[in-house]
């Protein structure tokens, strides 16, 4: 059987010898307990207020050292900031100081006790009277403390990315502030946070391919949810008026700059609400989250300066497509005529199965990239909106909007369909699409139709991608940069 040391490279073996030396001196390189009187940021705040904390004990990872004979300056970092340590042989004793120089490395976690002073260079520093090892790092830190440049390593070994890149840690702190602000807004406005199944006997609530698994005891297939929608709306049938869930959803689809198979979604539903109510919710959430992440509503995203101050612009999908392509989808309102018009105008659009999907593809190709200021796009084709009410006076389109900012979509909302007969018919149409080869078409959900038979109140519903919103508010251009552990190819 191999020994642990056999798994180490040369540099790691050298560091492991230091572990053995520490143990030989009776020092545990991984002690059970640690002590800290102040996080490093708190010490700086005390100093700035002119307060003397007296003797302090600080902890952190060694990130830099500068040795000159009998004195050494060391930088440590904890989760709140950086602090310089001043180690002098006369203070520590010759033996302790010698062991520090020999056995302590960059990357080690240490505990240091001493008092504060300010160097001639103006650096707040702890004069160390005692230093202890808290965790000996056998593997070295990346060579350049100020950053990993290899993207693949950053994602696969996120701990190294976080260790050496402060700006990356700042992105994920901002993500948490976004989540906290979103929850606080919904809680404050009477929405109840709930939990619905991640494993579902039927998947639904979105047009997407699911992940399938098998339950041995129940002897049946189950699906990882692609959306929370249908379970959340059942709760409104059960007399909750406002509910929301922030959860992981899963879609067995492609991976690109804005899509991952596992992602975080917020969905909320408001009884006795409609599309206009959901627009207000979207505007409010953008404001709350932008202030939490950036402290302002004027943000930079790539080359764009974006103002998130409400009210947001509103445009019908028909008008937006007409302006950018010259095609009137209400004139070319069949698959055949729209397809012919696209060919006539030499537009490059991927083949689609029906009129609604073709409209959507024209929009996403020629309009979506141009929507920089926050914009609600309304009146989506009913064919691709199976859970939205039809627009009064025009059954071709539904009471649905998506919110676009900086050329990307950040949320999707409906005036929810609550007519059980209409919903049943929509499910049947989806079955037809599935039979024609549409792998993303909805399955028939008889239990959901049964729930609607008992009465779903007029309802407004909204889904927002938390990952994409974080991308926008932290100026990140890959979803992998706002997800701690993104799925990657082998």
The string of DSSP codes covering 151-168 is: HHHHHHTHHHHHHH-HHH
Residues of the chain with pLDDT > 90: what percent?
A: 89
- Give mean pLDDT, residues 173-178: 98
- Give mean pLDDT, residues 332-361: 94
- Asked if residues 331 and 344 have their Cβ atoms less than 8 Å apart, the reply is no
pLDDT of 147 = 52
Q: What's the predicted TM-score (pTM) here?
A: 0.92
The first and second tokens of residue 229, run together, are 């929608």
- Asked if residues 289 and 178 have their Cβ atoms less than 8 Å apart, the reply is yes
- Asked if residues 72 and 66 have their Cβ atoms less than 8 Å apart, the reply is yes
Q: How many helices (H) and strands (E) does the chain have?
A: 15, 19
pLDDT of 434 = 87
pLDDT of 208 = 87
- Give mean pLDDT, residues 142-160: 77
**Helix residue ranges per DSSP H, 295-334:** 317-325
Residue 144: band (very low, low, confident or very high) from pLDDT cuts 50, 70, 90: low
- Give mean pLDDT, residues 289-303: 98
Greater confidence (303 vs 433) lies with: 303
**Average of per-residue pLDDT values in the chain:** 95
- Give mean pLDDT, residues 402-429: 96
pLDDT of 145 = 45
The H or E element spanning position 32 is none
- Give mean pLDDT, residues 231-259: 95
- Give mean pLDDT, residues 228-232: 96
Residue 442: band (very low, low, confident or very high) from pLDDT cuts 50, 70, 90: confident
pLDDT of 437 = 85
pLDDT digits (tens, 9 = 90+) for 262-283: 999 999 999 999 999 999 999 9
pLDDT of 121 = 94
Residue 148: band (very low, low, confident or very high) from pLDDT cuts 50, 70, 90: low
- Give mean pLDDT, residues 387-410: 97
Structural domains in the chain plus CATH codes? 4-135 (2.40.50.140), 164-312+373-481 (3.30.930.10)
Rg (CA), the chain: 29
pLDDT of 292 = 98
- How far apart, in whole angstroms, are the C-alpha atoms of residue 381 and residue 362? 12
- Give mean pLDDT, residues 285-311: 98
């Amino acid at each position: 059987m191999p020994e642990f040391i056999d798994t180490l490279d040369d540099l790691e073996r050298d560091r492991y010898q230091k572990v053995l030396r520490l143990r030989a001196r009776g020092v545990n390189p991984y002690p059970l307990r640690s002590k800290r009187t102040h996080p490093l940021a708190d010490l700086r705040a005390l100093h700035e207020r002119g307060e003397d904390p007296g003797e302090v004990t600080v902890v952190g990872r060694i990130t830099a050292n500068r040795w000159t004979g009998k004195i050494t300056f060391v930088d440590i970092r904890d989760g709140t900031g950086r602090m310089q340590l001043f180690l002098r042989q006369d203070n520590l004793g010759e033996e302790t100081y010698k062991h520090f120089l020999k056995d302590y490395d960059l990357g080690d976690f240490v505990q240091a006790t001493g008092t504060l002073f300010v160097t001639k260079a103006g650096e707040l520093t702890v004069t160390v009277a005692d230093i202890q090892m808290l965790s000996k790092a056998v593997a070295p830190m990346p060579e350049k403390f100020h950053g990993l440049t290899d993207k693949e390593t950053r994602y696969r070994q996120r701990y190294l990315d976080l260790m050496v890149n402060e700006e990356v840690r700042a992105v994920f702190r901002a993500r948490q502030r976004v989540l906290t602000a979103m929850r606080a807004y919904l809680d404050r406005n009477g929405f109840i946070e709930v939990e619905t199944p991640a494993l579902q006997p039927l998947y639904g609530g979105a047009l997407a391919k699911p992940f399938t698994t098998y339950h041995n005891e129940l002897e049946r297939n189950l699906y990882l949810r692609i959306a929370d929608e249908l379970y959340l709306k059942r709760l409104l049938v059960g007399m909750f008026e406002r509910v929301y869930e922030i959860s992981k959803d899963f879609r067995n689809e492609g991976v690109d700059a804005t899509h991952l198979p596992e992602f975080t979604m917020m969905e909320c539903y408001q009884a006795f609400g409609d599309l206009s109510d959901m627009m207000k919710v979207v505007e409010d959430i953008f404001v709350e989250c932008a202030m939490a992440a950036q402290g302002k509503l004027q943000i930079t995203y790539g080359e764009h300066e974006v103002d998130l101050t409400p009210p947001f612009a509103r445009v019908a999908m028909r008008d937006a497509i007409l302006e950018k392509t010259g095609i009137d989808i209400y004139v070319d309102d069949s698959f055949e005529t729209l397809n012919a018009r696209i060919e006539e105008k030499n537009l490059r659009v991927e083949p689609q199965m029906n009129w609604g999907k073709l409209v959507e593809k024209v929009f996403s190709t020629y309009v979506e990239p141009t929507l920089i200021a926050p914009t609600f796009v309304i009146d989506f084709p009913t064919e691709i909106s199976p859970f939205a009410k039809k627009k009064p006076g025009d059954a071709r389109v539904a009471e649905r909007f998506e919110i676009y900012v900086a050329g990307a979509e950040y949320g999707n909302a409906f005036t929810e369909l609550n007519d059980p007969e209409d919903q049943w018919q929509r499910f049947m149409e989806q079955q037809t699409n599935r039979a024609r080869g549409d792998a993303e078409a909805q399955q028939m959900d008889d239990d959901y139709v049964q729930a609607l038979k008992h009465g779903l109140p007029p309802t407004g519903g909204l889904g927002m991608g938390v990952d994409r919103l974080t991308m926008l508010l932290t100026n990140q251009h890959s979803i992998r940069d706002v997800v701690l552990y993104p799925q990657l190819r082998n």
